Amino acid sequence: MSAAGTTVLPPYSNKASLYIAPVWTLTAIALPLVILRIASRLKRTKSLYIDDWLILVAEILSLVNVSLGTAAVAYGWGKPIAYVIQNWPLLQKLQFSLQTVWIITLCLVRVSIAFSLLRFGTERSWKYPLYFLIGFQCVISSSYIVIQFAQCKPLGWAWEQIPAKCWDPQPIITYGWVIGGIYVAMDFVLSFMPIRLIRTLNRPTAEKFLISFLMSLGLFATVVCALKMTTFNDFGKGDPNQETIKPSMLTKLEELVGIIAVCLPSLKSPAQNVLKKAGFLKSHELTRPSFVNTIPLSERHNMGGREEDQNSDGADSLPPKDDIRVDSVNVKPGSADSATRNQRKDAWQLV
């Protein structure tokens, strides 16, 4: 305060670009990937699975979230609070809405990943852990919704200068540390579960590596989550209109990286084409699912009629010069037994 009684403003700065640049960059990547995933699924199966619907809703909410963050920046989020004091109530409302939408969006992304993995197997040892993770994620997200709306009474305290009774913030910070660690563990589990399936595939090594790479990109979300945890100790410190930028940015990136990771397997075919042109994959091996015998028909004729009848139907009517190729996306198992045998090995092609 100066001698004349006027307020001395702090040095001007604007941290909004720390949020806007990475968030909009990943948003521009995530949106086309979601569209590609949905279009690819509809083209192949004419319908959407529950994980497709979940990621579609998550992307819509993610766009709403980005719009709220951009609106907050337009009203001064990222500048010292002294420069935007007249917009403070509106900024607080926007940030409250942004946080609430993010809680729901991240839940949908993680649950979508788990539901997509459920199609890879029918065994209890495969399904029950995923059901547990789905339920656990819903409980965690619900707890954050409760904290969001119940930590201070009345609720309007979040954006109005009125007396309020609030919970002690320290237990909430501790809870954040615990949940952050749980999220890291969950990301590892969801990223490495498909490896058990991929190891059983009768595929070229390069193709196995490609599938593993695409399905383990959720580990990048683990890295972002770990970085976000480093901001927990700064909760409530510094200028409230500037110090919320970094944790909000990392929080949003965790969500966007999750959306990108869950949609990238839809790029398997384009990636295969690139690797084929580069010579890393052989074209005659790309479309053969793991349950198809790779022995050429010309060799099968030499193995005897009995074995031939057991391994193929009508093989004599097929040209002996080519291997059998089957597009597993269009294969409809003839019995429940065949579906059970082949589901684990070929469900990844529906991702």
What are the boundaries of each domain within the chain? 16-273, 275-350
Query: In the prediction, which pLDDT does 192 show?
Result: 79
Per-residue pLDDT at 308: 44
Q: Are 90 and 141 contacting, i.e. CB atoms less than 8 angstroms apart?
A: no
Query: For residues 180 and 228, is the Cβ–Cβ distance under 8 A?
Result: yes
Given this model, what pLDDT does residue 228 score?
85
Beta bridge partners of 153: 165
Measured over the CA atoms of residue 146, residue 151, residue 154 and residue 155, the dihedral's sign is negative
| pTM of the complete model beyond 0.85 | no
Task: Report how far apart, in Å, the C-alpha atoms of 52 and of each of 23, 56, 158, 195, 300 are.
Answer: 23, 6, 35, 22, 41
Q: What is the pLDDT of residue 159?
A: 81
**Would you state the pLDDT for residue 278?**
63
**Sites in the chain below the pLDDT cut of 70:** 1-7, 200-217, 236, 267-351
Q: Is 107 left (phi over 0), alpha (psi -120 to 50) or beta?
A: alpha
What is the CATH code of the structural domain delimited by 16-273?
A: 1.20.1070.10
Bridge partners for 77 per DSSP: 79
Q: Which tens digits make up the pLDDT trace of 227-278? A: 888 887 777 677 889 889 999 999 999 999 999 988 887 766 666 666 566 6
CB 140 within 8 A of CB 133: no
Count Cα atoms within 13 angstroms, Cβ side, for 238: 14
Predicted confidence at residue 123, as pLDDT, reads 86
